[in-house]
Structure formats: C-alpha cells, structure tokens
C-alpha cells in the first residue's frame, strides 16, 4: 500500500505536466489504481484467507496498472521534453521577433523623420517658387508699364520730329523769303 501511495503521488505530480489526452489517461489510471488500493485495504482482516486465484488476479491487475502507469510516465517524460524544447524554441523566436520589431520601428521612425524633413523642404521650395513667381509677375507688370511709357515717349518723339521738320521747313521758307527779299532789294 505504501508503494501505491507513492505511485499515486507521482502520478498526481505528473498530471500537471501532461497535455490533453495524456492527462486524462493518467487521471483514469491513477483513479483505477487508487480504487484497487482501497479495495485491498478495505478487505476485513477476517477474510484474510482469500482464494489464491483471486489474490493472483488482483496482483496481475495491479502489475498491469503499474506497468501502464510506468509507460504513461515515460510517455509523459518524452512529451515534457518535447514541450520544453518547443518552449525554448518559442522563447528564442520571441526574442528574435522582438529584436526585429525594434529594428523595424527604428527604421520606420527614421523613414518618417526623413519624409517629414523632405516634406518641409518641399514646402519651403514651393513657398520660394511662389515668391519668385509673384516677383516675376510684378516685374512683368513693371516692364509692361515701362514699355507703354517707352511707346508713349516714342510717339512723342515722332511727333516732335514731325514738328521739328515742320519748323525747319518753315525756317527754310522764312530764310528763303528773307534772302529773296534781300536779293530783290539789292537788285533795285
């Protein structure tokens, strides 16, 4: 009975590690082992003389249960090792993912700041371009005003040239008339 209790205690400790179906199998075997142990313990002392066949049968059943329990325990150990390995792999992959995420976030922040700087530079260039366009429009207006002024001055010069020619013709006529009068007076 003491050996059965130890095996039941080991089975109870192993239950916490078993996943799904293995845990249910271990629980069923542990429950059956415990029932058999109780049956053996509950047999009154007066009935100690149980038939040898019955005792042998119980011994065989108990041996089978102990053997099944040992196999389950071995399977549990193997599955626990696999689980520990998988958990180790998950931990390694989690750390790698965390590093890659940090690298990605750092790169993303760098790209965002670069894009913001380029956007700011673009806005500055657009503003400068608009200022230059505005200045060009003003200069074109000034040039048009100057061209209009030049054209007005050219018309004025042309008109003054005509007036000057007219005055020169009148002067020439006047000089010619004065000379003609002098010549007539001189001949008389």
User: Hey, where are the domains in the chain?
Assistant: 2-98
Structure tokens at 130: 């608009």
Question: What per-residue confidence (pLDDT) applies to 139?
Answer: 96
Nearest-angstrom CA–CA distance, 188 and 175: 20
pLDDT, one tens digit per residue, over 107-141 is 999 999 999 999 999 999 999 999 999 999 999 99
Distance of CA 119 to the CA centre of its chain: 19
pTM for this prediction: 0.40
């Amino acid at each position: 009975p003491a050996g059965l209790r130890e095996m039941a205690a080991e089975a109870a400790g192993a239950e916490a590690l078993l996943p799904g179906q293995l845990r249910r199998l271990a629980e069923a075997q542990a429950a059956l082992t415990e029932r058999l142990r109780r049956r053996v313990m509950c047999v009154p002392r007066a009935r100690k003389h149980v038939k040898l066949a019955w005792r042998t049968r119980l011994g065989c059943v108990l041996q089978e249960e102990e053997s099944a329990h040992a196999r389950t325990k071995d399977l549990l150990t193997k599955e626990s090792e696999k689980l520990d390995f998988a958990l180790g792999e998950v931990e390694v992959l989690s750390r790698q993912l965390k590093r890659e995420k940090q690298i990605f976030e750092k790169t993303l922040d760098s790209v965002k700041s670069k894009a913001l700087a380029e956007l700011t530079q673009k806005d500055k260039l657009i503003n400068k371009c608009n200022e230059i366009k505005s200045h060009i429009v003003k200069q074109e207006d000034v040039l048009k005003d100057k061209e209009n002024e030049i054209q007005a001055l050219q018309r004025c010069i042309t008109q003054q040239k005509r007036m000057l020619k007219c005055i020169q013709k009148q002067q020439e006529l006047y000089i010619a008339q004065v000379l003609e009068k002098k010549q007539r007076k001189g001949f008389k």
